[in-house]
Amino acid sequence: MSEKSVASSFVLGVFIAAGLIVSGYLISDTVYKIKQMERSVSVKGLALKEVKADTAIFPIRFQNSAPTMAELNDKIKQNIIIIESFLKKFGFDKSEITIASAQFTDRLAQGYNNYNPKIRFFADSMITVYSKKVDQVVKLQRDLYKLTDDGVFARNDSYETQFIFTGLNRIKPQMIEVATKNAREAALKFAKDSNSHLGKIKRATQGYFTINNRDQNTPYIKKVRVVTNVTYYLGD
């Protein structure tokens, strides 16, 4: 190989090496900047709100017994009339009252030992109030025992009673706004403590809304809760 060719090859090698060095620097600098941009903080924002139930389902159970089915049916009909009249005093109309079919038992056929012939037939009956008048249902729950004044022994099983809040869609936007604001405040505090600048949102997810009783004594007061998860970019 001639001296001229060797010199040309050497110069070309120098340029290639220099190019690789520059290229490597640029790539390294780009990677560093990308990593800097990927600095982020993930925070949670909580929103809580107390609301009042807007719908109530209130079952009323009563029992009757008699020596014959005819007498038993008469007792059931009489009790239904008394209970319906009682419910009207609380402001409920027939459209809010549902009468379920009674469950009958023949104690003789069931093989009861030493049963009393006077109470051979037994019936378990239920009337359900489904109403938007939550305050009246709460009052009814407290005063149901007064049916005994009319000879009706009725009961309400608390585990069957439901107080429902159906207005979640109405309060969702406001609660999400509050939760997101609280998340941003937490992120700003972190950025300040770490001498960083809070950037744009990298990722955000909305948690599930939950509705629970505020406490066991006031099931008609609900506690609505939502948590949002937000990730922000951090800068210098």
CA atoms of 231 and 39, how far apart (whole Å):
10
Phi and psi at 124, nearest 5°, equal: -110, 115
Look at the alpha carbons of 73, 75, 76, 78 in this order and tell me if their dihedral is positive or negative: positive
Is the separation of the CB atoms in 165 and 54 below 8 Å? yes
Instruction: Give the angle subtended at the CA of 228 by the CAs of 224 and 232, to the nearest 5°.
Output: 160
Domain boundaries, the chain: 34-51+167-235, 55-164
pLDDT of the chain along its 236 residues, tens only? 555 454 455 444 444 444 444 444 333 343 334 445 568 999 999 999 999 999 999 999 999 999 999 999 999 999 999 999 999 999 999 999 999 999 999 988 877 767 788 889 999 999 999 999 999 999 999 999 999 999 999 999 888 999 999 999 999 999 999 999 999 999 999 999 989 999 999 999 988 899 999 999 999 999 999 999 999 999 87
Tell me if domain 34-51+167-235 and domain 55-164 are identical in fold. Answer: no
Burial track 34-58 (b if 16+ CB lie within 10 A, e otherwise): eeeeeeebebebebeeebebebbeb
Superfamily (CATH) of domain 34-51+167-235: Protein of unknown function (DUF541), domain 1 (3.30.110.170)
Q: Which pairing describes strands 55-66 and 162-164: parallel, antiparallel, or unpaired?
A: antiparallel
